[in-house]
Amino acid sequence: MFTLKGVTYLHSPNASEGVLLAPFSLQVEQEWGHLVNFYQITAQQEQRTFRTFQKAIQDNIIAQRVGMLPTAPDVEAPPELVAPAMEYFNRKFKWFEGEFELSLTITTDSDFAPSKKLRMTIFETDSRDLEDCKEQLKFGRDILQNDAPGAVIELSERA
């Protein structure tokens, strides 16, 4: 079991960047519906450790690209820099195929915290696509370009 926190949302269905999810008020009968991006919040020390891996890869790729045109082919960071990031990714990866139950809880400014039981299915292709993104670490993807792949997983009410 693990907890994910809603951090950003897409202001419109065709938005390409998330907006920080900050506290807001709704009036009685008012609705709010947007795609929300959930992230696993990690301990500060773990974040620091991963940022060390990211920085080493980033610095190496930037140094290799000095004098290259922006359109030049991707360059790879050496395996000894990528290996710790890959090990971290493998240790943290939770998105295996299967059917899952989850509880969505809304934090409110009152004692009332609405909660709903939901289910989701992660298909083999979704899991593989998410796991394959680790292969892009050696090129600095999601480090230099901030273009991490993702998947839209449909949630449905638990029967």
pLDDT attached to residue 61? 94
pLDDT attached to residue 13? 80
pLDDT attached to residue 143? 54
| 10-residue mean pLDDT series, the chain (159 residues) | 84 85 86 84 85 91 94 94 91 90 84 85 91 84 58 78
The backbone torsions φ and ψ at residue 144, rounded to the nearest 5 degrees and listed phi first, read: -95, -40
The structure's pTM equals 0.71
pLDDT attached to residue 148? 57
Total residue length of the chain: 159
pLDDT attached to residue 5? 85
128: Cα within 13 Å, side-chain hemisphere: 3
Per the CB < 8 A criterion, the answer to whether 48 and 131 are in contact is no
Per the CB < 8 A criterion, the answer to whether 34 and 13 are in contact is no
